[in-house]
Structure 1
Amino acid sequence: MMTNVLFILIALTPIPVKTGPASPDDRVADQVVLRDGSVVLCQVLPNHSDRVHMIVRRAWVEKRLPERAAAWLHQDRLSRQRALVDRAQRLRQWRQERQGLGEPADAIGSWIDAELAHLDRREAGEPFPLMVVSIPRREVSRIDEQPEHRRRMLRQGWRAGFDRVEMMSETQLQAGLQDRGFAPGAIDPAPIDDLLPVPAESNRRWLARRASTEALTDPDLRFSRFGDLVLPDSGDAGTVDQAQMANAVGNLIGSLLGNTPGTDPMKAHLDRIEASGRIGVVVTMLETSPEFDRVAVETALLIRTAPGRWETGTRRRAEVRTADLPANAIQPLAADPQVRAAVQLLNGFGLGQVDPQSQQRGLAVGAATQRALGLARSALEADLNSVALRLNRAPIGPADGAAR
């Protein structure tokens, strides 16, 4: 909150469901039609050039495609063995690199230790309810993918344990999910990692997982940027750090007067994070129109893919016009102690009093910034959660997963 105020003022279980099968057009499952006429109801993964990868429910395959089940189950066992070796190696490397943090309580480090101990037991017992199947593209006649909201509903149906969910229509499944308390909105990414074996994945995919997990867990990996000013984005609106505020105001005033830093203002932060062995950073950038009637917010995950090299992963952008705000939108900001502290600090820099008209305009921009921030950050949080490892959930073993 303090960071945003500065920018504003200065810049002015399975449950049987008894229902008939839905028509192909109404189903929530993707449909892959094979050249022999077989139909696979699944969720198609991002396609490679020569193969089709899809998530299928093991029980559905065994019942509906018994002639293919044996080969696919064998493929699944081989893939799991390779994936477990890769995951263990990557976790050990991650744990070693985080040694530089020196933190007595490291949530990610503790999770890695527990996960490494669990990997040897992860594939024992009953199989997981879902598996990934990979088939040559030449064996596929047609792929019919559903819109993203239906794909999310299918994942939620798998999580809820509905029987024959692949055959259900959107309306039928939506009613069942709402009865179970699943969110209908787009923000719920419906992760299903704990229903799947450890996946075989590329190094780039693993780096995205690791970076997303770090950005969601470590509080010092988020920053807000406005021009050449970069401030830590702790998300703590409960206190006003006067020293930090004064330093930020001084730096921004210097940049407005032409004292532009010679290096990227993010570089020192990225160097520090790299030295700590971490690879994920979230940077939120704020822009205001020259007329101060529109605010744009872009928030992005930066991923360190090599020493000294940071690339942009997922990003989200939102724009809000001050004219679209409700009439009382600025009142909470006007009463905020951080706003008053920032105004007093600006006055103390000898810039003259912040006149009421400028304050009103700044508060309107601030309210628009808050709304744009909420939209962009919520979307990015959903993206990160859809990729990140789930540290807040105990590792689900095969027996537990099959019962979900």
Structure 2
Amino acid sequence: MDIEEWLRSLGLQQYGTAFRENNVEAEVLLRLTAEDLKDIGVSSVGHRRKLLEAIAELRESSSAILAEGGKALTQVAELASAPASPTGAERRQLTVMFADLVGSTAISARVDPEEMSEIIRGYQNCCAGEITRFEGHIAKFMGDGVLAYFGWPRAHEDDAERAVRAGLAVASSVAQLRAPEGKPLACRVGIATGLVVVGELVGDKEARERAVVGETPTLASRLQDLARPGSVVVAESTRHLLGDLFELEDLGPQVLKGFETALKAFSVRGEGRAESRFEAFHTGALTKLIGREQELALLLERWSRAEDGEGQVILLSGEPGIGKSRIVRALREHLANESYIPLSNYCSPYHTNSALYPVVGLLERAAQFDRDDTPR
């Protein structure tokens, strides 16, 4: 069984050396515990959980095959641990993130190589944890650089948004790390979106990787050079996919090495003030609502009852993209001349661990809090 290929399929290839140095082979892998993973050097709780779940799947697969008179355990592990990544090259729209640790050369000149190794390991674990949390794919660790893909091997409709949220999370998490002298670390993040050819396996043994052909990774790297320590810079191609989800600072046309013309770049200051995803992506005039007269009439009729003192609750449900938010917008347009106070709460899959996030968002909008406000 190729342990490193299995780790790569999970997006945890940074632990390949630790598994190899601790002689973790197929038979040993299936018996690893959380304590074993700690001893190996997997300090991230999220990474340990991900590894334990994957190991549990291997155990289930091996048990099923052996019950049918299957083959030896090592052969079962090989079959069960086949990487999830596509085997052939394919054309994809990809959002690429490149993160780089600020001042790593200067730090390495001041500290012992073993200390520097610990710093880099902590930085890489920090980046890997945030990137995988947003379902990005870590393509390569290059010392103090991290290359990640959003949109391959698994694509989402919001890969650009996921990349930016991951970039902000990486910048915030790295700032919590400390150099030996106590100073906080910082990283720069560049993000670009474009068409690439991705997935072809190149190299041999430890040098194997999934190649990406196209200018997008290079653009992400160049944008990272523009970023201030602790900040994220995105390409115009990525900015078009974000709507008003984030507050962006236009850096204007930038002359970048390797590109013939100046390209626009944007610095991400944080989340935007849009009330909802619908509002973030529909800032202009909307087309006329067609075919929803019955649903709109029902909502208006319930509004009339509420005005007469009869409390009303309406559940508007349906498949994603069917037009629920558009109907609510139409209702509010019909009530534009009415006197009422709208209270809107919105959940987010990116804030499932944030208690009362919808209520906090409502209060921030109502009180017009700004992220730069001071406590006084």
Q: Which has the higher contact order (CA 8 A, sep 6+)?
A: 1
Report the TM-score when normalising by structure 1. Answer: 0.26
